[in-house]
Structure 1
Amino acid sequence: MEERPIDLSSLSYVSDHTGFYGTIKNSPADFVVAEVNLSGRLTTNIYMEVKEELQAQQSSKENCKKPKLCLSTDGANIQDTIDFAAKDICEAMADKGDNVFEGLDLPDSEADQYNVLNTLLGQDVQGSLTNFACSVRSAFESKVSGGEEQCELSLGQFPNKHARAILHSSVRQAFPFLLTFTRSTEVFVKPNLDYQTLSLLTSEEEADKFFTFIDAKVENSRFTFQPDVCKEHRTSVHHFISKKFGKLVETKSFSEKGSDELQKVCITVRFREKKGSSGKRQRSEEKADIFTAFTLKKENLETLEAIAYLASLLGVLPSDFSYAGIKDKRAITYQSVVVKKISSERLREIEGLLEKRGMKIYNIHPTNKHLHLGELSGNHFTIIVRDVRCHSDDISEDLEKRVDEAVHSVKNRGFINYYGPQRFGKGQNVQSHKIGLALLKEEMPQAIKLFFTPEEGDDPVNKAKKYFSQTEDIKGTISLMPAYKVRERMLLRALNRYGMNDEGCVRGWLSIPHSMRIFYIHAYCSKVWNEAASYRIATYGTKVVEGDLVLHNQDSSEKSLSDRVYVVTNAEEEEKVYSMHQVVLPMPGHSIRYPTNQVGQWYKKALASAGLQSCKFRVGTLQLNVPGCYRPIIKFPHQLIYEPVIEVDEQSQGKESEHTLSKKRSFKLSFTLDSSCYATVCLREMMKCNL
């Protein structure tokens, strides 16, 4: 490769095979990447999946309009029946919004709510709930207060989150004066003391209706209290609702004439309108956001640059786009993207303008939500490794044997899951992790100077950066900076407005999207992880040892990440309870735990030497919060195959006879990696050289 952003040569390998030399990315077509979505489909095959999904949705609407909650009595598994029913209702909830029972064949009457509860809880628990509710209601009616906080009732364990969602809503709809909450997978109820306060200000009937209204959260709905002639009393109601629900609803008093021609005042409550990215309230006709999904094919272009160009063509912000991951620049890549506020028709209008920038969009279709980073199962790679040769100059070495040995070694032993060079940017003088370290230390002007440090070369971007580093003339730098460098220009415009002092630099960083700001801190944390993983393998090898962290996968949907991380004991080391693929290392952050062996000590020393011994991994001024995460040390490629390719050296043609033409050896690799794994890192382990 021409670009070598960060040197990985000092990092350890997991195996000791010899490896070989070769080059990749001679051209973008040598490195093809296609996302694999959560359904296991390549993005290049998404069209068929979309078609099948639409057909399935249509069939579901025709056949499943009335989800049933009645339990079979023929010995079938009751929990399975509940889970199935809950899933149906939750899917309907997703279509209808947060008003759980709107549009379903689940009547709104109190008796029917009891039927739902009886289905979920069974008669015994339902009886206990009813008795508990009666005792709470009696206590409220007698104006008793003070002891109800400690009173609670368990409704049992509900491992399925869909069943829990239905149970929570059903209890609150049937008993508005109760609160529901979950500990692990166990559901509890307790008195709602806010209900008691409101019932003393108004009436139990109105309190019932108000809390049912609050729980339903139906957009554009309103609730109006009975007319009230006492201003002080109305003020108390206003204050109570504002204090308890002010972020969710707003109140206003309206005057109206009664039948006796006297002015009466009513308090109306309505849900607050959602705010857009600018902080301004959206108009009612804009509330239903449009989301359009498409496949983005790009060549020799960074993902963020591609998004910035699409945003400028469509007249929206880069933050209106969402995607599952950042893809290589020097490659041909396929990835799923979702854009907000843009219709399918509008996207098709710009298709012809994209080819000149090395982009193409297709599989355009409407969707109902944006994508999240990491919302993919992996990436499929097709890579040509050219000019393959042995590490030594000994021509007697069997090259094919070397390659075969390397491929099988990585298949069987995997590779150390380092973050790849592209994680750190392509700069030679200043890489992204250095900027991230300055941001963590809240050295804002230093971070700005690092950001604008010029690289080698005399291209327009470097000319602008050199001018800035020499003069700090912001206006002049803006005029020199190419229009396609969106991040740089946004930051410069903010600096021009607010200055190069600490506050101005903070405003400068805030002018670029959050995803771009956090990228630099993640780059630094990734560098620390790489060095920690190298130290771990060099110190202990591939044996699981006491003090290592392992990740439990059991009930992963029901446990937080911190609950799934476990420290290996000495007995477990001796009994070989865990395998190396289960061992993880933490990315630095404020919510992680470190290994208790020598690797944990290494982390402390590394952070201290960088001046981060007291770092909280929160940069409040930049709205950056870094909780940290855990990353497996060892990963394996899936469906790894390779195919030798013989290339003829064109320079030797015409000079020698056909049978003496120089031949260059190449081979094609095809494999799939889990999300957040790097193909260049897998190849590094295979070839035993930095790419």
Structure 2
Amino acid sequence: MRFKSPPPSLHPLPSGGPAHEGRRRVGRLPYRVASRLSNTGMEEGSGIPVALHSSTYVNDHVGFCGSIKTSPSDFIVTEINMCGQLVNEIAVDSLPKSGGTSSDQGRSHQGDSKRLRLSPSEQRIDEEHCRGQDEDLYCTSEVLHSTVRESEEHEINNVLECHHDKAVTLDSLLDTNVKEQLSHFACCVKDTWNSKREADTEFSLGPIPDKKVRASVHGAIRQEYPFLATATKCGEIVVKANQDYQELCKLVTEEEASAFLQFIDAKLESSKFAFRPDGNKVHRTSVHHFLSKKFGKLVETKSFPDSEQKVVIVVRFREKNGFRKRTNVESREKEDIYTGFTLQKENLETLEAISYLASELGVLPSDFSYTGIKDKKAFTYQDMVVKKVTPKRLKQLGSTIGKKGLGLSNVHSVSQPLRLGQLQGNHFAIIVRDLKLHSKDCCGSLKERVCESMENVKKNGFINYYGSQRFGQGQTIHTDQIGLALLNKEMVKAVKLFFTPEDSDDPVNKAKKYFLQTEDAKGSLAMLPDFKVRERMLLRALNRYGLNHEGCTRGWLSIPHSMRIFYVHAYCSKIWNEAVSYRIKVYGTRVVTGDLVFSTGYIENCSLNDKVHVVTSAEEMANKYTINQVILPMAGYSVQYPANKVGEWYHKRLAGDGLQMGHFRIPALQLNVPGSYRHILKYPHDLSYSFLENSGKDIGTASGSVQDSPLSLSVSFWLDPSCYATVCLGEIMKCAL
């Protein structure tokens, strides 16, 4: 155990919200002990899955009732870094110096971001395209100005400059006879398109064994005949009609279509392409949609005004996919900037906090890295790293973010981003208020119940459920339902679930209701508050692409990867919760044949699955393993399932949701879920507690009757990564929190 000493007392940030915001009453249900539970994760006889949190227990104490999260200051979460330090108590002077960039290096903060900021007049032009692009679409103002200057001439040939004489290149690569046959095939393709007859399917140039020569031929043909497409089959180059060209010609002139496809094939990093000015917004939308559908992974499009009060669609290559990283020193230094800091937040989701900071700094939410998601209804402290922002720029946020319940400290340069799970754990300082006995516990002593509960969980641990906050606590639609729709590739259903309103008339729910009733993304966007970042990202994309399968897919792609994967992981977490309840019901706390454990021996350079061992019957008889060593898989395409009834349960449960292993890859959303493993049991570390009067005065744990006094309980402990304090408290109190 690396974090051994009890953490010092924690001091919350000044509260800016109502004292009782986020209040939750717990403990209203009758207490239940482990021997009386038989919850399999399915409602009896219905086959309908239910989300389980901490409704099955491994301890047989009675427990007690109380209220948690009466205010954010009653629930303080502090990350413990890999060195075993509380992140809110690290002095900047003690932080390791980065081997990468210095803090400022003479750069102005405007240079920290590449996101385009348009003038008000430019923002009004083609709003759904200028502001509705994916979040990874940005360009410098320098690029914008050069692009608009180039488009003023409205000459396509001036936008694209070819690097070589195409005819000479083909003449040098192909025999005269083959060249003539190719030319004849090209003419036939054009003629059949004009006469609306079916063209010959394809034309073969014959075998070309040299790979480099084949590459040159591919490029030369597509430059001279952009309306043709080429492919290699068994060493032969096959030429056929380019259907993309034909579809594009329905939207723009043949000259523009040819020049655009030449531009695409040339792949010149610094080049841009501008279509002719277009005053028809509906037509421009069609062009944007086509280019995004056919070439969206390679290029990005934006609309800009020209000198004649019309609008020009400008295309450029995406830096992240189209080219290697820039090699000049300035760009490389800029990309290598990483700034670490401690984020303090109050009553705010981690992803919402990141989205707000990204907006203030002019970077992308994906430029932030962190080790894990922290509670919303709490004071939390966690390490973060932001890319492309200097410490000086970050410090300039100052009091601006304080109004949002955010604070920054320990700002310093680092050399690399953080990774999920890159922490030793989280420390919790919790106050449980209004202590009471369970309603059916008529003769117990409150103090005895509390002490008994604490000692049992300290000794025996708790079932390592995912907490209810993982699934959208108290919401009509849980995040796991959205995740299941995404896994089943039901993109429209996922969007509608996402916008399902709660039973409230606040502005957010009014906007959601309006969207579901009218499918008017633009109108809903105008109604939605600025702080609902995910909803606004999705609505902007839906306004541009439409509420159909393709449009909703583009909509999900418009939000950061960490947010997309969050919903899928929520579904996998729900399945894990149900699986562990079934495992405890069927086998209890004994280790049986077919259970999974991690191998005890050191295995170098092996995959995660290679570290997983299936318990044999001989090992079961010898009691070689204990229940705290047993693991269960998080569903995914590459995990191993238990070789017993639990494994059978997994396959039936997933099949009931229409899922097979292949469903855990979603290429359209750039999501892959290989799966992982999670221990059934966990233990609180350094657990301590004391009673408080309602005034907050500590009266210790001295003997005496406290049953008639209005008491609270102060609890302090720390947990391993990905463990939930509410689940631990649920086991202690025998309540579903």
Q: What TM-score results when the alignment is normalised by the length of structure 1?
A: 0.65
2:593 matched residue in structure 1: 546
Deviation of 1:524 (Å)? 0.5
Distance 1:510 1:333, change over 3 A: same
- Answer whether contact 1:551 1:565 (CA < 8 A) is retained: yes
- CA drift of 1:277 comes to 4.7
Matching of residues 381-460 of structure 1 within 5 Å: 381-392=428-439, 396-460=443-507
Matches within 5 A, 1:251-270: none
- What residue is the counterpart of 1:306 in the other structure? 353
Distance in 2 separating the partners of 1:478 and 1:554: 56
| 1:649–1:661 contact (8 Å) kept in structure 2 | no
Partner of 1:286: 331
Maintained 8 Å contact 1:648/1:664: no
Code of the aligned partner of 1:376: L
d(CA) in 1 for partners of 2:578, 2:381:
31
Q: Deviations over 1:486-518 (max 9, x none)?
A: 111111111111111111111111111111111
Give the deviation of 1:649 after TM superposition. 11
Kindly indicate whether residue 713 of structure 2 is the aligned counterpart of residue 667 of structure 1: yes
Q: Is the 8 A contact 2:431 2:714 kept in 1?
A: yes
Question: Is the partner of 2:473 in helix, strand or coil?
Answer: coil
What does residue 212 of structure 1 align with?
Answer: none
After TM superposition, list the pairs within 5 Å mapping 1:635-674 onto structure 2: 635-647=682-694, 663-674=709-720
| 1:30 corresponds to which of 74, 86, 94 | 74
Q: Which amino acid aligns with 1:491?
A: L
Q: Quote the offset at 1:484 in angstroms.
A: 1.1
- Partner Cα separation in structure 2 for residue 251 and residue 459 of structure 1: 49
The change in CA–CA distance for 1:9 and 1:621 in structure 2 (over 3 A counts) is closer
Amino acid at match of 1:302: E
Q: Deviations over 1:449-475 (max 9, x none)?
A: 101000111111100001111111111
Amino acid at match of 2:638: S
Structure 1 residue aligned with 2:732, among 658, 664, 686? 686
In structure 1, the residue matched to 2:566 is 519
* Secondary structure of residue in 1 paired with 2:57: coil
- Please tell me whether the aligned partners of residues 55 and 735 of structure 2 are also in contact (alpha carbons under 8 angstroms): no
1:620 aligns with 2:667: yes
1:53 aligns with 2:117: no
Matched letter for residue 73 of structure 2: A
User: How far off is 1:582 after superposition?
Assistant: 1.1
SS, match of residue 296 in structure 1: strand
Q: Distance in 2 between matches of 1:421 and 1:352?
A: 33
**Equivalence for 1:11:** 55
**Given the superposition, is the C-alpha separation of residues 277 and 316 from structure 1 closer, same or farther in structure 2, using an over 3 Å criterion?**
farther
Shift of the 7–550 alpha-carbon distance from structure 1 to 2, 3 Å rule, reads: closer
CA 1:614 to 1:315, structure 2 compared with 1: closer, same or farther past 3 Å?
A: closer
Asked if the contact 1:636/1:673 (under 8 Å) is kept, the reply is: yes
1:53 is displaced (CA, Å) by 3.0
CA-based RMSD: 3.2
Q: CA deviation at 1:307?
A: 0.7
Distance 1:605 1:238 in 2: 49
Give the drift of 1:560.
1.9
CA contact (8 A) 2:637 2:661 kept: no
Distance 1:52 1:488, change over 3 A: closer
1:126 aligned partner:
none
Instruction: Give the direction of change, closer, same or farther, for the CA distance of 1:466–1:275 in structure 2 (3 Å limit).
Output: closer
Q: Measure how far apart 1:287 and its partner are.
A: 1.4
Supply the distance in 1 between the matched residues of 2:552 and 2:94 (Cα, whole angstroms): 49
**Residues 237 and 617 of structure 1: CA distance in aligned 2, closer, same or farther (over 3 Å):** closer
Paired AA for residue 35 in structure 1: E
- The number of aligned residues is 480
User: What SS class does the counterpart of residue 577 from structure 1 fall into?
Assistant: coil
Answering whether residue 88 of structure 2 is matched by residue 44 of structure 1, we say yes
Tell me what 2:657 maps to.
610
Q: Distance in 1 between matches of 2:593 and 2:361?
A: 55
Q: Which moved more, 1:10-19 or 1:411-420?
A: 10-19
Q: Which structure has the higher relative contact order (CA within 8 Å, separation 6+)?
A: 2
Q: How far did residue 482 of structure 1 move? A: 0.9
Q: Distance in 2 between matches of 1:615 and 1:233?
A: 37
8 Å contact from structure 2 (residues 492, 547) kept in 1: yes
Structure 1 Cα separation of the partners of residues 689 and 346 of structure 2: 24
Alpha-carbon distance between aligned partners in 1 of 2:53 and 2:707, rounded to the nearest angstrom? 35
Partner-residue secondary structure (3-state), 2:714: strand
Cα deviations by residue, 1:7-62 (Å, 9 ceiling, x for unpaired):
647831111110110111000000000101111111012326x626349x89xxxx
| Gap change, CA 1:682 and 1:661, over 3 Å in 2 | closer
1:57-68 map, 5 Å: none
Deviation at 1:278, TM superposition (A): 7.8
Displacement after TM superposition at 1:428 (Å): 2.5
What SS does structure 1 have at the residue aligned with 2:91? helix
Could you tell me which runs of 5 or more consecutive residues in structure 2 were left unpaired when the two chains were aligned.
1-21, 27-49, 101-208, 220-231, 233-265, 269-316, 698-705
Amino acid at match of 1:333: T
Q: Residues 4 and 588 of structure 1: is their aligned pair in 2 closer, same or farther, counting only changes over 3 Å?
A: farther
Kept in 1, the 8 Å contact 2:23–2:71? The answer is no
1:649–1:664 CA contact under 8 A, matched in 2: no
What is the aligned counterpart of 1:586 among 622, 630, 633? 633
| 3-state DSSP of counterpart to 2:565 | helix
Q: Which amino acid letter does the alignment assign opposite residue 608 of structure 1?
A: A
Question: Which residue number in structure 2 is paired with residue 572 of structure 1?
Answer: 619
1:310 aligned partner, one-letter code: L
8 Å Cα contact 2:636-2:661 kept in structure 1: no
Partner Cα distance (1:237, 1:649) in 2: 79
Q: Percent identity?
A: 55
SS of match in other structure, 2:450: helix
Checking the alignment, whether the CA contact within 8 Å between 2:25 and 2:68 is kept in structure 1 is no
**Amino acid aligned to 1:45:** E
Conserved? CA contact 2:53–2:465, under 8 Å: no
Distance (Å, rounded) in 2 between the aligned partners of 1:277 and 1:233: 30
Offset at residue 662 of structure 1 (A): 7.1
Secondary structure of 1:363 counterpart: strand
Residue identity in the other structure for 1:485: K
> Which amino acid in the other structure matches residue 729 of structure 2?
L
Q: Go from structure 1 to structure 2 and tell me whether the alpha carbon gap of 1:3 and 1:601 turns closer, same or farther (over 3 Å shift).
A: farther
Shift of 1:538: 1.1
For the Cα contact (< 8 Å) 2:67–2:435, is it kept in 1? yes
Name the CA distance, whole Å, in 1 between partners of 2:707 and 2:56: 39
For 2:421, what is the secondary structure of its paired residue?
A: coil
In 2, the alpha carbon distance for the partners of 1:520 and 1:483 equals 22
- The alpha-carbon deviation at position 346 of structure 1 amounts to 0.6
- For 1:151, the equivalent position in structure 2 comes to none
Cα 1:553–1:351 shift into 2, 3 Å: farther
Match of 1:461 among 498, 504, 508: 508
What are the equivalent positions in structure 2 for 1:305-344 lying under 5 Å apart?
A: 305-344=352-391
How far apart are 1:282 and its partner, in Å?
Answer: 4.2
Q: CA deviation at 1:631?
A: 0.4
Distance 1:12 1:234, change over 3 A: closer
- Deviation for aligned residue 1:426: 3.1
8 Å contact 1:324–1:371 — kept in the other structure? yes
- Higher deviation after alignment, 293-302 or 275-284: 275-284
Amino acid at match of 2:470: R
SS across alignment from 1:644: strand
Post-superposition Cα deviations, 1:206-259, rounded to whole Å, max 9, x if no partner, equal xxxxxxxxxxxxxxxxxxxxxxxxxx999669989x99xxxxxx999xxxxxxx
Is 1:595–2:638 an aligned residue pair?
A: no
Shift in alpha-carbon separation, 1:594–1:233, aligned structure 2, 3 A = closer
Q: Matched residue of 2:82: which SS? A: coil
Tell me the secondary structure at the aligned position of residue 530 of structure 1. Answer: helix
